[in-house]
Amino acid sequence: MGRRTILLDGGMGRELQRMGAPFRQPEWSALALIEAPGYVRRAHDAFLDAGADIITSNSYALVPFHIGEERFAAQGGALASLAGRLARQAAGAKAGARVAGSLPPLFGSYRADLFDAARAADLLVPLVQGLAPHVDLWLAETQSAVAEVRAVRAALGADPKPLWLSFTLEDEAADAATHPRLRGGETVAQAIEAALALGAAALLFNCSQPEVMGPALAAARTAAAGTPLPLGVYANAFPPQPKDATANDGLDELRADLTPATYLDWARRWVDAGAAIVGGCCGIGPDHIRALAAALP
């Protein structure tokens, strides 16, 4: 009998860095796409070989925050298309593999306070147009607030592909284990309400430490009770991030304790708590995904 848990890939940026691809701030994972796209294909292949069912396009850093306003205006759509093509080529080599089109936070990760609704469509439309021919589903990831995912839904228009929404959680708050919240301050229940209203095909939590994922799953299960909304988790390997953090605005250290074996322990808890989709975010590599693929139900 095959595995029931849908397995995502891990963190693209840190895998590119580990492989020796061009990698620096502020471009982050976009630099390899621009200068040496063969590394991106190799990273996708590594996650697929490890057992991932879904790989995510390397489009997370294709926003002005990372590549600059001028480069985004001139090349944003073309780079998104390249990211989509590379993922599709890799997925085509593995039967049943799917591609998720990454739609990132537009104005800096973790910073709901910087979100500019008036500019959102101008940044999302080139990404959507570039990725659309190559992806099987949309993944709006590391979203800090409901306003961000509403903008994504509007930019997708009538596109019929499934939309997965993935929110990042406060992981430094003293009460994070009892009152999980999005980094923008909204509750998990508000995230569920928005996901259902927007017709999302799944709701996930990502780019937060493993310790806060269980409480968020529990709150999500309660809020989504009686609905068929699948839930998922892909945590990062960062230490807890303060409220004023901006992900990728510097190179964070990775936790040494999150080995493939210990990450698997966390993943088992998430599956037991109702997660149907599991993977990894920043710092979670192919070896972690291989451990999940071998052991999750």
The three-state secondary structure class of 138 is strand
Q: Which amino acid is at 45?
A: D
Identify each DSSP E strand in the chain by its residue range. Answer: 6-7, 54-56, 98-103, 137-143, 163-167, 202-206, 231-235, 277-280
Q: CA distances (Å), 162 to each of 29, 195, 272, in order?
A: 25, 12, 25
Q: Is residue 252 within 8 Å of 238, Cβ to Cβ?
A: yes
Show binding-site residues.
207, 281-282
- Burial (CB count <10 Å: 0-12, 13-18, 19+), residue 261: exposed
Phi first, then psi, for residue 183 (nearest 5°) are -65, -20
Taking the alpha carbons of 77, 83, 88, 89 in that order, is the dihedral positive or negative? positive
Point out the annotated binding site for Zn(2+): 207, 281-282
CA 90 vs CA 57, 98, 209: distances in Å: 10, 10, 29
Instruction: Give the C-alpha separation, 25 to 249, whole Å.
Output: 7
| Helical (H) or strand (E) element with 250 | none
Q: What sign does the CA torsion over 42, 45, 51, 54 have?
A: positive
| Burial group, residue 133, by CB count within 10 angstroms (0-12, 13-18, 19+) | exposed
Cα gap 54→99, rounded to integer Å: 6
Cα separations (Å) of 193 from 104, 105, 188? 21, 20, 9
